């Protein structure tokens, strides 16, 4: 893993087994989680494979590749590369590691985003000021999604 751009965590009120089963349909899961991000009004799954997911949003195209999952009885670790094309203005590339570990209150989710590359002036703005907004919004989206599934 390269230079860390964002690192954060939160607790999710759900059980690890329910979470692990959601990751069997990775494209559906990512589409649902991304749709909870602020400012996204349109989110559509375009492509899904064993280690790739492509999603179109009203802001651009999100391609997650090299997806790996490590599943154990009380944990789940996901790792992937992401290329996000926000219109024609900026393309950001990054590496994600999401670690979900069962604890006494549910599941702790730790997210690390690293190796962020985004060229140009808008890329500089993205790299310089976007980390906490994007990282915290993703953490909150996972929490909202899984906690709403628990209440179903």
Q: Domain count of the chain?
A: 1
Q: Which domain, by its residues, includes 54?
A: 4-150
- Element (DSSP H or E) covering residue 60: strand 60-72
Residue 96, domain CATH: 3.30.530.20
Each residue's pLDDT, cut to its tens digit, for the chain (152 residues) gives 679 999 999 999 999 998 999 999 999 999 999 999 998 999 999 999 989 999 999 999 999 999 999 999 999 999 999 999 987 788 999 999 999 999 998 999 999 999 999 998 888 888 887 888 899 999 999 999 999 976 65
Q: What letter does residue 129 receive in the DSSP assignment?
A: H
Would you put residue 146 in left (φ > 0), alpha (ψ -120 to 50) or beta?
alpha
Q: What is the pTM of this model?
A: 0.92
Query: In this structure, are strands 90-103 and 75-86 parallel, antiparallel, or unpaired?
Result: antiparallel
Residue 106 CA to residue 151 CA, distance in Å, equals: 14
């Amino acid at each position: 893993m390269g230079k860390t751009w964002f690192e954060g965590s939160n607790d999710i009120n759900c059980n690890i087994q329910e979470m692990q089963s959601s990751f069997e349909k990775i494209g559906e899961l990512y589409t649902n989680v991304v749709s909870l991000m602020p400012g996204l009004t349109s989110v559509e799954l375009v492509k899904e494979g064993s280690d790739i997911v492509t999603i179109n949003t009203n802001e651009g195209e999100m391609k997650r590749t090299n997806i790996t999952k490590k599943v154990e009885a009380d944990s789940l670790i996901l790792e992937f590369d992401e290329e996000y094309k926000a219109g024609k203005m900026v393309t950001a590339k990054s590496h994600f590691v999401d670690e979900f570990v069962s604890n006494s209150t549910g599941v702790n989710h730790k997210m690390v985003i690293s190796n962020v590359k985004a060229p140009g002036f808008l890329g500089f703005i993205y790299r310089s000021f976007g980390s906490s907004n994007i990282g915290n919004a993703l953490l909150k989206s996972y929490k909202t999604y899984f906690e709403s599934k628990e209440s179903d």
